[in-house]
Every structure is written in C-alpha cells, then in structure tokens.
Amino acid sequence: MKCSSFLSKTIAAVVIGAGVMSCGKPSVSGVNKFADTVFIQIAQFQDQRLSDSLYPFLDHENPNYRRDAALAFASIQDSLAVERLSKLLLNDGEKDVRRAAAFAIGQTACAQSARILAQAFDREKDPKVLSTILEGYGKTTKHWNLANIPTDATLSEGLGWSFYRAGVNGAADSAVNQKAIHLLNPVFPDSTRLAAAHFFGRAAKQFDPLSDSIFAATQHDALVNVRMATTLALRRISKDSARIIAQHILQTDEDYRVRANATRALQAKPFETAKSALIDALHDKNAQVCIAASEAIKGWISEAPWKEIAAEARSSTNWRVQANLYETALGASRGDAGLAREIEKAYTSATNVYQKSALLGSLQHAPASRDFIAEKISLKNPPVIRSAAATALVAMNFQKRYDPTVAEAFASIYATGIRTGDPAVIGIFSQALADTLLGFKHAIRDLTFLYEAKKKLSLPKDYENLQPLEAAIAYFEGRPNAAPAKNPFNHPIDWALVKGIPRDQKAVIKTTRGDITIRFFVEEAPGSVSNFISLAQQKYFDHKFFHRVVPNFVAQAGCPRGDGYGGEDYSIRSEFSERRYTTGSVGMASAGKDTEGVQWFITHSPTPHLDGKYSVFAEVVSGMDVVHRMEVGDEILSVELIR
C-alpha cells in the first residue's frame, strides 16, 4: 500500500514527532512495540475515536498494523465500521487479523453484527477465530440459534462464552440451557467449564430440571472458579436441595470466595430456612464471608427478628458486619427509637470515617434520625461522611414508610446540601429531586440553587454528578431531559512516557495490609498504563484508601475524596482488549465508556461481566493474598516502579 501525502500530513499533525506512516516492516527495537511509530499512530487514532483515519490501516500490507487497527474498533465501537471490519473477517489471509476483526465486531452493538458473525462462522476454519466469532455472536444476537456446532472440545470454550454473553443479554432460552449444561462435564477443559458455570451463575433462567449437574459441579469440580460460579447458580434453583447444598458449601469449602457466594445463594431462599446458616456465617474465620453473610441478611430486612439481629450487631467485632446488621434490625423494627439512638451513639464514638459512614447508612430506616444525618452534610465533615449522609437521606425517601407530607422538609435539606457545592452531594440529592414518585416538584419553587450548583460543576471531572443535576433542572422546568453530555477528548496519551515503559514493567503497591506487585500491559492499554504510572510518579496514590471492597468481587482505590465520587480535571479513553478479567486483574473504574480517570480496582476472581466494558491494564503477580484480605479503609503507602 502506498502512502498518500494527505494521510501523511494528517498523521503528522495528530502524532507530534511520530513521523509519517510507514509502508514497510515495523521496527523491532525499543522496550515495547511503540518504538514503531505506526503503532503509535493507530493507538492515537483509537484514542481520539477517529474511525476514518484508521480505515487505511485495515488495508495495510503489514498484518500487524491491520490487526491493531481492527482491535482499535473494539474500543471505538463505531457501527459504521462494521461493514469495513467484515471484509477483514471474511477475506483476510491472516488468522490473527480475522480474530481481531471478529472481536471488534462483537464489541459493536448494531443490527448487522450478529448477521456478519453468523456468516463468518459458516466460512471460518481456524478454531481460535471461530471461538472469537462465537463469543461475539453471543454478545450481539437477539436470539441464539446457530446450527451445526461441533460437540467436541474444539470450540467448547468459545461456545460456553457465547452462551454466557447471550444469556446476559436475554438472548438464551431453554434450548441453550440444554447445550450449556453439557459443558460442565469434567471431560471439558477448565476454561470451558468456567464459561458454562458463569452462564448458569449469572445469565441462565429456569433451569431447575438441570440442577443435578449444577449440584455436582458446586461440590466436586476441581476448579475453584467453577465451584464459585455454580454455587452462585444455586440462588436460581427453586428446589430446597439447592438451599441444603449451599449450607453444606458454607460449612465445608476451603475457599472463602465459594463460601461468600454460598451466602448470596442463601439470600434467595426462604428466610426461615436459611437464617440459621447465615447467622452462623457471621462468625466465619474469613472476614469477607462474614461481611457477605451480613449483606445477605440485610436482604431480608422486612422479615428478620430485629432484636436477635441487633444483639448480633452489638457483639460483632467487624464494623461493616455491625453496620449491616444494625441496618437490618432498624428496618425490621420499623425504626425503633431506642435502637436508632444506640446507632447514633455508636457513630459519635467511632473514630474510623468509613465506620461512621456505614453507621449513617444504617440510620436510613429511622425517620426520627433525619436531622441527625442532615447535620453531617456540613463541609466541616470529611467527604466520606458527607456523601454517606446524603445517600442515607435519599434512601430514607425510598422507604415504604416514607411520608410524602414531609417533602418540603427534605427539599429544604437537599437545597442546603446542594448549596455547599460538594459535587457528590449535588449529584446524590439531584437524583432524588428528579424522581417523579417523590413529589418534590411542588415542594421547590425557586430553582436558583440548582442553577448555581451547575456553575460549580464541569466536565470531565464532575461527569457522574452533572448528569442527575441536569435531569433535576429539566424536571423542574417541565421539559425533556437532554441526552447526557459526553466527555470530550481532553487528555492525550503521553507517548514519550509510553515509549520508555518496558513490556514487563512492574510496580509494588505498598499498603497497610501488605505489598501487592502488579505487571502492566502497556502494549494493550498504553493510555491507562501511562496514566497510572504518571500518577504513581507524582505520588498521587500515596495515602489514599481502598474505599470499596466487595467480597469476592473487587477492591477499589484511587479516589481523592475517599468515597468513590472523586476525580481530577481530566478523563482518559476506554481501552478494551481481548484480555479477560481473571483473579488479580487490575482495571480502570469508570462511570461509563471514556470516563476513566484516577480510580482503579483489583478483582478477587474471574468477573466476565466486566470483559470488554472496563479497561484491563495490569495484573497481580504477587501479593494476591493481600488483595483477598483487603478491607475498606486500608491505606496505600506508596506505589513504586520496579523491574
């Protein structure tokens, strides 16, 4: 392919110092592939979402460039590019290029994606490409109905993930259930059984007739990840034997993650039959299981014996468990005044801000504590407390016992909170004000405080809070809400930094819980990696906290506020690759596509519902035991680059 002068000028204008488009072979020198400036050009066009500028690379004579250009569209997700990608998928001579095109098409939700992938499935011969086609078809189809699928292990993994993706989108039926259950058979590879397990754990519906195979996998599969996912599937089985098995798992499985999932399965069972097992689980040897059990008990807030649960709360030594149980007891008691005062006293004596915020959350069931909570919105309190108080007050509005006659009192509190200018409080309260069921339209007549709040927020920093504020203003003005604004391109990748990052670059995250070593994927996510490394070099993460830990899901950190609502005056682009979220994957947190910034998380186990939706930029190579023991409020001491 020849280089046009127009294209060369365009690239030179976009990639400063990168040179013109190469027509020959890529350079092999340098610490990563971006020593070849063409890869920079492709990544830069991906970062700026410039589909037209990427099209010429799809026809390049170099298959590595074609592959990367195709993968770029997995992040751009431009429906107009699907037909161009289909030419690669159906005709390119390189299997890696075809696979990249299949992945990108599967990432792009549009009418023709499933049709093109089904057509390619009938023509493709390479097993790896076929597996990617199958998974992409599952993501994009409205009804899974491929024919002539091999029944051996050749395509079993791709088939399993195809079923899972279709099930998540509501495109799988009982016929798919019948096909998927066979993939749990131990004769299939671990990766196949894992896909099938997640299908039943998160996506399948009405599979009671197949329960024996699920029961066998939960108790006997050699792979802990399969046991985890199938244990979660027990919540979807109505037979009482599912409860009995979940209780057995809770007592016997050595992996805390399986036991945590067993508590979630029990939450879906009748309260009286599962109560004893969950109360016992509050005393599990692993704190994460105790927390998961307390969250499951909280799901029965209308049925729980409140005095018994309150007694468990008082005796608990884990503050998260205590707060969850207090919330359950207070809700079950219909806001018992004495218990509410007890919780208020516990709040006052607590010194941990995260414990305080959790106790505020438990008071959402005590209308008499409204003013006690409202006082905590003051700017004299830390952001963690302010956002927790705002969340508790809004939750109070949504209780079944909420009295709409007090709307004006709440409206006054919300207006006062919004006037503080705290972005999180603005967003949380605005969401309540815009809710048509809560009756605030007649309680607020002067919108000045909303207009003033809008002046204090800006994109991209306040994206998550600006959207509900815009919705509230539109609601009170009596007009339709405009489509949410998108973050503009505002933070170019630092290519000088990227080109100096080795392929195997590592970093040690030193925390009060212990050290975690991660390895970066600079060639797959240069924007995310360079952003993280730049922040680490500035000591940005030092003395920030893990503000969110969900048992057997993620530990999340990086928020400058410490409550998950914080960010900086920039955002970076999403970078979606074929890499799956597994145990120890490090990903960028976001409020939607292209809203990433400074927050990140580490996964406790495979989390396929994050694949292709959150940027994976690193993985844990040592210290996973620390991640499993991480708790809310644990502090990052430093992040240091190592080789």
Contact 127, 96 (CB under 8 A): no
How far, CA to CA in Å, does 161 sit from each of 138, 164, 205?
7, 5, 16
Dist. CA 435–CA 413, nearest whole Å:
16
Q: Which two tokens stand for residue 319?
A: 């503050």
Report pTM.
Answer: 0.94
From the list 362, 354, 365, 360, the residue with the least C-alpha distance to 375 is 360
Q: Which two tokens stand for residue 40?
A: 């920079």
Helix (H, G, I), strand (E, B) or coil at 482: coil
Dist. CA 336–CA 349, nearest whole Å:
20
Q: Which two tokens stand for residue 272?
A: 């009286």
Dist. CA 439–CA 432, nearest whole Å:
10
Dist. CA 228–CA 212, nearest whole Å:
16
Dist. CA 162–CA 166, nearest whole Å:
6
Dist. CA 351–CA 338, nearest whole Å:
22
Contact 637, 514 (CB under 8 A): no
Dist. CA 548–CA 554, nearest whole Å:
8
Q: Which two tokens stand for residue 441?
A: 């339209």
One-letter amino acid of 252: T
From the list 290, 151, 142, 199, the residue with the least C-alpha distance to 609 is 199
Q: Which residue has the tokens 């360079």?
A: 530
Q: Which stretches of 398-477 are DSSP H helices?
A: 407-419, 423-433, 448-456, 463-477
From the list 33, 50, 38, 161, the residue with the least C-alpha distance to 103 is 161
Render 513-532 in DSSP notation, one character per residue. TEEEEEEE-TTT-HHHHHHH
Q: What are the E-state strand segments in 99-155?
A: none
Q: Which two tokens stand for residue 447?
A: 């919108």
| Domains with residue ranges and CATH for the chain | 5-141 (1.25.10.10), 495-642 (2.40.100.10)
Q: How many CB atoms lie within 10 A of CB 569?
A: 12
- Per-residue pLDDT at 513: 98
* Largest CA-CA distance found in the chain, in angstroms, rounded: 80
User: For 92, what's the count of Cα atoms within 13 Å in the CB-facing half-sphere?
Assistant: 28
148, burial (CB in 10 Å: exposed 0-12, middle 13-18, buried 19+): exposed
Strand order in the sheet with 600-603: 548-550, 554-557, 600-603, 585-588, 616-622, 514-520, 506-511, 636-642
Q: How many CB atoms lie within 10 A of CB 319?
A: 19
Contact 409, 592 (CB under 8 A): no
Q: How many CB atoms lie within 10 A of CB 395?
A: 17
CA 185 to chain centre: 30
- Per-residue pLDDT at 27: 45
Q: Which residue has the tokens 């002046």?
A: 455
Dist. CA 487–CA 492, nearest whole Å:
13
Contact 505, 534 (CB under 8 A): no
From the list 332, 563, 632, the residue with the least C-alpha distance to 340 is 332
Q: Which two tokens stand for residue 172?
A: 């799988």
Q: Give the pairing type, strands 554-557 and 548-550.
A: antiparallel
Dist. CA 165–CA 172, nearest whole Å:
9
Dist. CA 355–CA 400, nearest whole Å:
26
Q: 10-residue block means of pLDDT along the chain (643 residues)?
A: 35 37 50 98 98 98 98 98 98 98 97 96 96 98 92 90 98 96 97 98 97 98 98 97 98 98 97 96 98 96 92 98 98 96 98 98 96 98 98 92 85 97 98 93 95 96 96 96 89 98 98 98 98 98 98 98 97 98 98 97 98 98 98 98 94
Q: Which two tokens stand for residue 369?
A: 């504590």
Q: Which residues of 30-48 are buried (b: 16+ CB within 10 A; e: fewer)?
A: eebbbebbbbbbbbbbbbb
The phi and psi torsions of 618 (rounded to 5 degrees) equal -165, 175
Please list the residues that pair with 618 across neighbouring strands. Answer: 520, 586
Q: Which residue has the tokens 């599912």?
A: 242
Dist. CA 142–CA 166, nearest whole Å:
8
Dist. CA 189–CA 383, nearest whole Å:
48
From the list 246, 261, 117, the residue with the least C-alpha distance to 201 is 261
How far, CA to CA in Å, does 600 sit from each of 76, 269, 532, 544?
21, 34, 9, 12
Contact 633, 559 (CB under 8 A): no
Contact 298, 317 (CB under 8 A): no
Q: Give the pairing type, strands 585-588 and 616-622.
A: antiparallel
- Per-residue pLDDT at 29: 64
Torsion sign across C-alpha atoms 421, 427, 432, 434: positive
- Per-residue pLDDT at 11: 36
- Per-residue pLDDT at 403: 80
